[in-house]
Amino acid sequence: MNIAAQFRPARLGILLSGRGSNFLAIAAAIRAGRLKGVEIAVVISNVAEAGGIEAAQELGLPTAVFVSKGRKRAEHDADVIGCLRAHQVNLVCLAGYMRLLSPDFIAAFPQCILNIHPSLLPSFPGLDAQGQAFEYGVKIAGCTVHFVDEHLDHGTMILQRAIPVLDTDDAHALADRILIEEHQAYSEAIGRVVSGEYEVRGRRFVKRATV
């Protein structure tokens, strides 16, 4: 697959459920010219009160809310997929989207859904990854940007960033320092995916050999 051609231009569909600081970091990277050929096509939330949606509206970006609570996953996802298609999204970025995707969703955007997780996967998948890592007593923590597959926090890893856990840390301080790394890592990972300079080889995301 020619990744570069596929993402020309890259039209991001951001999915979030909360404050949206990762989304804002991506938007800032685009504004600063650090992500050339990338635009945010739509920001979607499954939570009506998500701060990230308000922030997107303030930036003048198209937004949509599909409340997921009480709805069947497949039906809710069908609405989200329809919205992403209507906005011609070709790269879906989960940014604090607190909902598992249905198999139909993953099949609709093969190898085109990214997620950021606040741990060095495969350690500490799932909720409160930073707290899990802190309680476990790891000395190195960090974050991972990865493709989304049908298993939780499992797809091919694109990029990881590591930081030391300090003796003075508590779980909140650690989470705050990981978040700073997340804000850099997500844009960098998007840049790599859309650059066409990398390919997926098995479970590895590696630079293409130059001829």
Our finding on whether 34 is near ligand GRF (CB under 6 A) is no
Q: Which of 47, 56, 95, 185 binds ligand GRF (CB under 6 A)?
A: 95
3-class SS of residue 19: coil
State the catalytic residue, choosing from 76, 117, 146, 172. 117
Residue 59's alpha-carbon distances to 18, 21, 31, 95, 203, in angstroms, are: 16, 13, 11, 17, 36
Our finding on whether 15 is near ligand GRF (CB under 6 A) is no
Q: Which of 10, 15, 22, 161 binds ligand GRF (CB under 6 A)?
A: 22
Our finding on whether 146 is near ligand GRF (CB under 6 A) is no
| Alpha-carbon torsion (33, 38, 41, 47), positive or negative | negative
Of the candidates 91, 88, 94, 160, which has an alpha carbon nearest to the alpha carbon of residue 124? 160
Q: Give the residue carrying structure tokens 């989960």.
A: 94
Q: Please state the closest distance from residue 182 (CB atom) to ligand GRF, in A.
A: 5
Our finding on whether 46 is near ligand GRF (CB under 6 A) is no
- Torsion-angle region of residue 163: left (phi > 0), alpha (psi -120 to 50) or beta? beta
Q: Please state the closest distance from residue 28 (CB atom) to ligand GRF, in A.
A: 12
**Alpha carbon 11 to chain centroid, angstroms:** 14
Q: Please state the closest distance from residue 97 (CB atom) to ligand GRF, in A.
A: 7
Distance CA(96)–CA(15), nearest Å, equals: 8
The interface with ligand GRF within residues 101-120 (CB under 6 A) comprises 116-118
Residue 146 appears among annotated catalytic residues: no
The interface with ligand GRF within residues 148-187 (CB under 6 A) comprises 179, 182
Distance CA(3)–CA(115), nearest Å, equals: 18
Our finding on whether 63 is near ligand GRF (CB under 6 A) is no
- Residue ranges that bind ligand GRF, judged by CB under 6 A: 16, 18-22, 95-96, 116-118, 179, 182
Catalytic residues: 117
